[in-house]
Amino acid sequence: MNDFHLMILFCTVAVLDAGTSEFVWLRDLNNDAHKRHLDLGLSDELRFQLNRGGKSINIHLKENPHVSADTDIYVVEALPDGTKRAVKEPFTGKVESKYYHDIDNSAVFTVRCVKRANDPCARTLEGSLRIEDKYFNIVPVSDLSNVDTMYMNRGYNDTPHVIQEETAIVENINLTNDTIIHNLNVEESDLDKNKRAATVYGVELLVAVDPPVWQKFLALANNNAEKAMNRVREYVSHVINAVALTYKSIKGRSFSIDITLKAIIVVK
């Protein structure tokens, strides 16, 4: 791999709104119930089937190892002499999510394992994907503990989700709305594929969160700074995961690009 280059991105909020909600079932096709806990490790590849209106969509996810919910955060503090410094914020939470791609479906997801009445836990997806040239958000039903009875007539591996087609621009902080990845695929020859595999460039990203955005996260966390920091980590990781998919989905070139989230700077 070639040397990394550092880029600084500033996190702002201007994202897509969603249209009418639609109920769907997500079927977990992975025969590894014993691994359905993040502390035991999720597989680097996961397969699901999305059942919508009598049609099935196969989703093949591959983990993106270059982003993580425990990414380092540095907080800019003012010193008595008027200068400022960046202080590393300790990670006190628990990593409860991992990040995946499905290039064929222009899909980018945060995957979690949600506890329910009976083990194993239910894998859920939050993110976006392309269905018949339209782009949709997908989120799990918010409280699985209240829908256990829905599994009576379904397979044990089926988990309820909601999808929404993208429609408009609004201001909001939402994992799914910020990550619609449009189709960048073009045909490539076997020679192009071999060249692309041979040359890999790495780009490290340093993301800065400005005061207005930090205040939005703080409000969502009911002024709990620790929870707000963890939400910043998860949000930025999800968005950078989508940025990485954008580059991975461009074909017909002689190189590939790996995007790595190096750190986050929060300016309060």
pLDDT for position 187 = 44
pLDDT for position 159 = 83
Q: Where are the domains of the chain?
A: 4-267
d(CA 147, CA 100): 26
**Mean pLDDT (whole number) for 37-53:** 78
**Is the per-residue pLDDT at 112 higher than 70?**
yes
Of the pLDDT bands very low, low, confident and very high (cuts 50, 70, 90), residue 209 is very high
One-letter amino acid at 31 equals N
pLDDT for position 188 = 47
**Is the per-residue pLDDT at 241 higher than 90?**
yes
d(CA 23, CA 6): 41
**Segment of 4-13, 36-45, 53-62 carrying the highest mean pLDDT:** 53-62
Least confident among 12-16, 107-111, 264-268:
12-16
Closest C-alpha among 148, 140, 127 to residue 234: 127
One-letter amino acid at 144 equals L
d(CA 49, CA 168): 28
**Is the per-residue pLDDT at 61 higher than 80?**
yes
**Is the per-residue pLDDT at 169 higher than 70?**
no
**Is the per-residue pLDDT at 20 higher than 80?**
no
Token reading at 161: 């989700």
pTM of this structure: 0.77
How deeply is 39 buried, as exposed, middle or buried, from its count of CB atoms within 10 A (0-12, 13-18, 19+)?
exposed
**Mean pLDDT (whole number) for 192-202:** 64
**Is the per-residue pLDDT at 102 higher than 90?**
yes
